[in-house]
Chains A and B, each alone.
Chain A
Amino acid sequence: MSIYLPIAEMSVNIFILFGMGAAVGFLSGMFGVGGGFLMTPLLIFYNIPPAVAVATETNQIVASSFSGALAHFRKGTVDVKLGIMLLIGGLFGSTLGVYIFSSLRSAGQLDLIISILYVIFLGSIGTLMTIESLNAIRKSKKDDAPPKRKTSHDSFIHKLPFKVRFRKSKLYLSVIPVLVLGTLVGILAAIMGVGGGFIMVPAMIYLLRVPTNVVIGTSLFQIIFVTGYTTIIQSATNQTVDVVLALILMVGGVIGAQFGAAAGHKLKGEQLRALLGLLVLGVCIRLGYDLVATPVDFFNIIGSLDGGGH
């Protein structure tokens, strides 16, 4: 059954999109990730114009992060103060990101930059994740003792000025790295259509040394607001958020996520991370291949009346 997307101005198959939403929802429920970094490339592979894919996906992440954050609020694993600090950076970054997005779009380089960013981020994160989890699997086979890694020296991040106390995270930390991290993730949210959890979470753990139990909840908390804000300014400046597309993906996503979460409990953490790492690498290779392979058509055409597409 086909449905006409009012903003993308194209007719699409509702079941395929619903299935994509459900599949990515399943994976995000299973791995506890937002799924934006999988959904946006999938939408692009399905010929949704990248500008619409990115902006619409931001809106879907509002839904998935809100639903995730609810659970963390109930458990009390959100550091609101740290979240708000990250958010301040995030709003700034997102504004900058939407501006970059618009200028790249009018220069005709948006699709290219989206692909390159995806290849870089998915490539490095996929590789790290796969290596780390394979090592963990190998170690857990040898001995059951969990690897305790404690870095003795304080990194320069903890020597920066303007320190603030974050009670929930039991941290006394400069606001500079927090704001910078928030800004970077905000830029990525706007340009790539991701929540940025895949950057935010490792950065919070390894660079800011936020305790693991509050990392996810705090990250989700700020993602809701950053993606919500990004959706609103994308709508105001680029008019590329397609509400019909977003709704199909959201409904598919929330249903898939429920089953994914159940499936996730049956697998071990390392195995999950290895699988996710391989999946991320797969998407990266596909996008990278499209960048270097000789295109079917060397020309492309953009008209001023074309739908939200370009």
Chain B
Amino acid sequence: MQKSLRLFVFATIMMFTAILPSKAESLQMGISVDQVPVSSSFDGAKIAIFGSIETKDQAALYRGEYDVVVRVEGAPEDVVIRKKERIGGIWINNQSENYEAVPSFYSILSARPLNLIANSIVLSPISLGINNLGKNIPVEGEKKLIMNPGEFSDALLRLRIEQDLFSEIPGTLKQLSPSLFRATLDIPANVPIGEHTVTAYLFRKGEILGTNRSSFTIEKIGFERWIYDLAHEHGILYGIMVVLIAIFTAWAANAIFRKS
């Protein structure tokens, strides 16, 4: 629902930009790949997101008044955060908090720190920026990330940043010319598999003027894909296969070493 709503809003904006060319400000965007393959040698990847700012106000463009911020988001997931406490001398997972619809991957690419581009009143409703995550107003019947402030949500963000799954690093987006930009996304080896959405926002004087959206997928390919699918869809068959591999390996080793 939310997606179609956004599309509707986007379409409306596009329509108005077409009707009112004097105020037209829009953003074009492309990604260097549609798919990032994960094979046995996968150790992370780098992809480029590039695009252009389109505006009639060339003077403002040349003054560098526009800012582009790109957000890359993995599929939402449910998360449990547990806190260890000392019980009888041993550290045990005790209290916990659950969050739903947490992005499994979250990266903000921008030229300047976000707080210099817009304030959190603008950024929170669109979940732009790590510190603005989960600060939406709850909507009934909608699965949205709402984070209670406190040590658990702090730990969630901190741990995800430590794991390289969340990042917000100024300088990851560069203006190649007043209108052209290129952002570089570093994908860590532990990136979640699946579709990742890329949303770019165009800012001027702290306001959102345009947006554009695209996506790419991170997919296991070949052998890795086959193994993963087999293990998850036909667990028993997979189990029998790995046991047979074990027996064969042992038998082969026995035969080889008995000869020599």
Interface set of A (CB-CB < 8 Å, partner B):
2-4, 6-7, 9-11, 59-60, 62-64, 66-67, 70, 108-109, 112, 116, 228, 231-237, 239, 241, 243-244, 246-247, 250-251, 254-255, 258, 291-295, 297-307
Cα-based distance from A285 to B189 in the complex (angstroms): 32
Q: Which one, B85, B89, B236, contacts A236 given CB within 8 A?
A: B236
A299 touches B189 (CB 8 A): no
A241 touches B227 (CB 8 A): no
A112 touches B92 (CB 8 A): yes
Q: Does B211 contact A (CB under 8 A)?
A: no
Q: Which one, B77, B78, B81, B104, contacts A300 given CB within 8 A?
A: B81
Assuming the contacts A3-B41, A9-B193, asked whether A300 and B84 have C-beta atoms less than 8 A apart, the reply is yes
A10 touches B190 (CB 8 A): yes
Q: How far is the CB of B82 from chain A (nearest CB, A)?
A: 5
B79 touches A66 (CB 8 A): no
| Total B residues in contact with A, Cβ cutoff 8 Å | 62
Query: How many A-B Cβ pairs are below 8 Å?
Result: 177
Tell me which residues across on chain B come within 8 A of A294, comparing CB atoms.
Answer: 91
B239 touches A247 (CB 8 A): no
Q: Does B178 contact A (CB under 8 A)?
A: no
Tell me which residues across on chain B come within 8 A of A302, comparing CB atoms.
Answer: 79-80, 82
B89 touches A64 (CB 8 A): no
Residues 78-100 (chain B) with a chain A CB within 8 angstroms: 78-85, 89-93, 96
B249 touches A247 (CB 8 A): yes
Cα-based distance from A182 to B179 in the complex (angstroms): 73
Assuming the contacts A4-B40, A300-B81, A302-B80, asked whether A231 and B239 have C-beta atoms less than 8 A apart, the reply is yes
B80 touches A6 (CB 8 A): no
Tell me which residues across on chain A come within 8 A of B247, comparing CB atoms.
Answer: 62-63, 66, 228
Q: Does B12 contact A (CB under 8 A)?
A: no
Tell me which residues across on chain A come within 8 A of B75, comparing CB atoms.
Answer: 305
A63 touches B43 (CB 8 A): no
In the complex formed, the residue of B with least CB distance to A11 is B189
Q: Does B48 contact A (CB under 8 A)?
A: no
B227 touches A7 (CB 8 A): yes
Tell me which residues across on chain A come within 8 A of B192, comparing CB atoms.
Answer: 303, 305-306
B159 touches A235 (CB 8 A): no
B232 touches A239 (CB 8 A): yes
A63 touches B231 (CB 8 A): no
In the complex formed, the residue of B with least CB distance to A66 is B250
B220 touches A232 (CB 8 A): no
Q: Does B18 contact A (CB under 8 A)?
A: no
Residues 220-236 (chain B) with a chain A CB within 8 angstroms: 220, 223-224, 227-228, 231-232, 235-236
In the complex formed, the residue of B with least CB distance to A62 is B246
Tell me which residues across on chain B come within 8 A of A246, comparing CB atoms.
Answer: 242, 245-246
Q: Does B181 contact A (CB under 8 A)?
A: no
Cα-based distance from A108 to B96 in the complex (angstroms): 10
Q: Which of A9, A66, A235, A237 has the most CB of B within 10 A?
A: A235
A11 touches B43 (CB 8 A): yes
B83 touches A299 (CB 8 A): yes
A244 touches B40 (CB 8 A): yes
Q: How far is the CB of B84 from chain A (nearest CB, A)?
A: 5
The 5 nearest A-B residue pairs measured at CB: A235-B239, A232-B239, A299-B155, A254-B253, A236-B235
Q: How far is the CB of A299 from chain B (nearest CB, A)?
A: 4
A251 touches B43 (CB 8 A): no
In the complex formed, the residue of B with least CB distance to A250 is B249
Q: Which one, B102, B189, B242, contacts A243 given CB within 8 A?
A: B242
Tell me which residues across on chain B come within 8 A of A301, comparing CB atoms.
Answer: 79-82, 155-156, 159-160
B93 touches A303 (CB 8 A): no
Q: Does B243 contact A (CB under 8 A)?
A: yes
Q: Which one, A6, A9, A254, A293, contacts B190 given CB within 8 A?
A: A9
Q: Which of B84, B193, B240, B243 has the most CB of A within 10 A?
A: B243
Assuming the contacts A67-B250, A254-B249, A299-B84, asked whether A4 and B189 have C-beta atoms less than 8 A apart, the reply is yes
Q: Which one, A11, A66, A303, contacts B77 given CB within 8 A?
A: A303
B41 touches A2 (CB 8 A): yes
Tell me which residues across on chain A come within 8 A of B249, comparing CB atoms.
Answer: 63, 247, 250-251, 254
Q: How far is the CB of A306 from chain B (nearest CB, A)?
A: 8
Tell me which residues across on chain B come within 8 A of A62, comparing CB atoms.
Answer: 243, 246-247, 250
Cα-based distance from A210 to B83 in the complex (angstroms): 48
Q: Which one, B80, B227, B246, contacts A66 given CB within 8 A?
A: B246
A241 touches B246 (CB 8 A): no
Q: How far is the CB of A26 from chain B (nearest CB, A)?
A: 14
Assuming the contacts A4-B40, A236-B236, A241-B239, asked whether A247 and B245 have C-beta atoms less than 8 A apart, the reply is yes
Assuming the contacts A11-B42, A298-B83, asked whether A108 and B250 have C-beta atoms less than 8 A apart, the reply is no
Tell me which residues across on chain B come within 8 A of A291, comparing CB atoms.
Answer: 90-91
Tell me which residues across on chain A come within 8 A of B151, comparing CB atoms.
Answer: 299
Cα-based distance from A243 to B155 in the complex (angstroms): 33
Q: How far is the CB of A207 from chain B (nearest CB, A)?
A: 29
Cα-based distance from A307 to B163 in the complex (angstroms): 13
Q: Does B4 contact A (CB under 8 A)?
A: no
Tell me which residues across on chain B come within 8 A of A303, comparing CB atoms.
Answer: 77-79, 102, 104, 192
